[in-house]
Structure 1
Amino acid sequence: MLDAKLRPLIDPPLNAAGRALARAGFSANIVTLLGMAVGLGGAGAMYAGYYGLAFGLVLAGRILDGLDGAVARATRKTAFGGYLDIVCDFVFYVSVPLAFGLADPRLLPAALVLVSAFTITGISFLAFAVTAAEQGAETDAHGEKSFFYSTGIAEGTETITVFLLMCLFPGWFVQIALVYAVMCVITVIQRSILARQTFRE
């Protein structure tokens, strides 16, 4: 929901930093993997109960996630880079509720609900992208991407905001997780309606 609106604000500094990283010899794929590693470190900090550290690591990991695309634009974009980016994103996404659920079995049901919601959201996102590629559909609403990014109320910005709220208010994990799971389901419904309207028979 917010990703496309934030693009004009965040792209200029990201692109400048991406060019600097490219000049320093970093590849986009290395930045992607670093972002995932830092994000997983944040999930590990959540599991251990170090929520302040987790907040910083999650934020740093997502900045790196934004920088990989900027590095790719400064060098060259590859199909594998797009694949790696989305895989690393979802590895990180499911690691956060998993960390809470493993740390406290009482939180496990809500964690599994959120992981399930992420799963169906990811499936709808990728199914839309594949079908859009087959139909020749294109969009630049989310910046230059390797494949079609369909919109919804639960996107990257909202997901990171939810994770940061979990770090700030860990005692509210269940409520935050369930509310966001509902948002993910609404996104799947939105995306399905958009697919029906967009794709030709």
Structure 2
Amino acid sequence: MIDRWTHAWVQAPLNLLAKSLVGKVTPDQLTLAGFLIGLLSVPLLAMEWYIPALIAIMSNRVLDGLDGTLARYTQPTDAGGFLDICLDFIFYAAVILGFALANPAQNALAAAFLLFCFMGTGSSFLAFAIMAEKHQIERIQFDSKSLYYLGGIAEGTETLLFYVAICLWPQQFSTLAFIFGALCLITTLTRVYGGYRTLSRLPGQSESPS
């Protein structure tokens, strides 16, 4: 919901960092490094080392922003965009797994509910991206995204803020996970509705009368 504003705020520092890395590292290398650092949060969370886990999570997010910025200074590729989005979804789910491992009795149900909700936001995002590419629908929010970006209440910034909150107040994980999961469900419903309406209005997409 607020990605369009936070995206603009972080561009200046990311641009400076990216310029200094041109010719020294590739965007795909940054993507893989960020993913591996992010995965460190799983064992850290399982051991209930929440602040080190938060550092790993934040490092992942910084590198996730940096790889795309660097790609625009070199040569963006479909392969790089594909790798980035796949590893992002795996990372987001891995953090929730870490909290389930930290305290299965208290966190497992909330973690399962949130992963269910993540399936809705992720599938609606990717399904619409496929159709938008097929019909050459222009991106309406972020020119730098590798895929058409269909927004909602629970986007990248909100997810990061949620991860910060559950690392700072891990005893509240279940409550926060159910709340954020509900926001994800609302996002899924709005994406499915908005995506269906958008696609059904394209030429030749109206249903024939019975």
Does structure 2 conserve the Cα–Cα contact (< 8 Å) formed by 1:35 and 1:60? yes
1:155 pairs with 2:160: no
Which residue in the other structure is 1:176 paired with?
A: 176
Equivalent position SS for 1:37: helix
Which residue in the other structure is 1:37 paired with?
A: 36
Work out the number of aligned pairs and report it.
200
Distance 1:161 1:18, change over 3 A: same
- Alpha-carbon separation, structure 2, partners of 1:143 and 1:154: 20
1:116 pairs with 2:100: no
Does structure 1 conserve the Cα–Cα contact (< 8 Å) formed by 2:31 and 2:63? yes
Which residue in the other structure is 1:185 paired with?
A: 185
1:66 pairs with 2:30: no
More helix by share: 1
Displacement after TM superposition at 1:89 (Å): 0.5
Displacement after TM superposition at 1:140 (Å): 5.2
Identity of aligned residues (%): 37
Which residue in the other structure is 1:76 paired with?
A: 75
TM value normalised by structure 1 = 0.95
Amino acid at match of 1:44: P
Does structure 2 conserve the Cα–Cα contact (< 8 Å) formed by 1:3 and 1:142? no
Task: Calculate the aligned-residue CA RMSD, in Å.
Answer: 1.2
Equivalent position SS for 1:186: helix
Which residue in the other structure is 1:54 paired with?
A: 53
Equivalent position SS for 1:151: coil
Which 4+ residue blocks in structure 1 deviate beyond 6 angstroms? none
Larger deviation, residues 99-108 vs 173-182: 99-108
- Alpha-carbon separation, structure 1, partners of 2:165 and 2:27: 29
Does structure 2 conserve the Cα–Cα contact (< 8 Å) formed by 1:153 and 1:184? yes
Which residue in the other structure is 1:141 paired with?
A: 141
Amino acid at match of 1:154: A
- Alpha-carbon separation, structure 2, partners of 1:160 and 1:37: 17
- Alpha-carbon separation, structure 1, partners of 2:5 and 2:192: 22
Displacement after TM superposition at 1:155 (Å): 0.7
Which residue in the other structure is 1:10 paired with?
A: 10
- Alpha-carbon separation, structure 1, partners of 2:189 and 2:95: 24
Which residue in the other structure is 1:127 paired with?
A: 127
- Alpha-carbon separation, structure 1, partners of 2:145 and 2:168: 31
- Alpha-carbon separation, structure 2, partners of 1:171 and 1:51: 11
Does structure 2 conserve the Cα–Cα contact (< 8 Å) formed by 1:166 and 1:172? yes
Which residue in the other structure is 2:93 paired with?
A: 94
- Alpha-carbon separation, structure 2, partners of 1:118 and 1:50: 24
Does structure 2 conserve the Cα–Cα contact (< 8 Å) formed by 1:39 and 1:61? yes
> Could you say which structure has the larger radius of gyration?
2
Distance 1:81 1:95, change over 3 A: same
- Alpha-carbon separation, structure 2, partners of 1:100 and 1:6: 27
- Alpha-carbon separation, structure 2, partners of 1:164 and 1:9: 19
Gaps of at least 5 residues in structure 1 are none
Displacement after TM superposition at 1:197 (Å): 2.5
TM value normalised by structure 2 = 0.91
- Alpha-carbon separation, structure 2, partners of 1:153 and 1:130: 21
